[in-house]
Copies of this chain bind each other. A is one copy, B any other.
Amino acid sequence: MNMKPTDSEMEILQVLWKKGQCSVREVYECLDSKAVGYTTILKLMQIMLDKKMVDRDTSAKTHIYKALINEEQTQHNFLDKMIDTVYNGSTSRLVMQALGNNRTSKEELNAIKQYLENLENS
């Protein structure tokens, strides 16, 4: 069950994870920055249904979709793959680059330090 959603699928999953339940139109509206047609989103979500990435309730005319795959698990899959294929297996290298990109706020840095302390004491 080691899913690897495509970029487009990830965009849709992000919406489903955030909202929990969604019609195609709701997803479409959340993504309108992408300037892609309604039926494109529909088709993608139907394909995701085939792949069992999502499930849907078809009791009403407007089908309601929800994610079948877990957000954290999916993030982990991506991360592990990235560490292998992009960072040659070095987690620390990835972490340092992530922290060095100047996009991390003081609050985030503190949270990470806290996390490291806890990791140490376990």
The interface of chain A, by Cβ under 8 A from chain B, is 7, 10-11, 14, 72, 74-76, 78-80, 82-83, 85-88, 90-101, 103-104, 108-109, 111-113, 115-116, 119-120
Contacts and interface: CB of A to CB of B under 8 A. Distances in A.
Chain A interface secondary structure, helix, strand, loop or mixed? helix
A119 B109 CA distance: 9
Contacts of A111: 92, 96
A39 B95 CA distance: 36
Given A88-B14, A103-B91, A83 B96 contact: no
B76 A104 contact: no
B116 A85 contact: no
A80 B11 CA distance: 15
Contacts of A88: 14
Contact of A116 (B72, B99, B103): B99
B115 A96 contact: yes
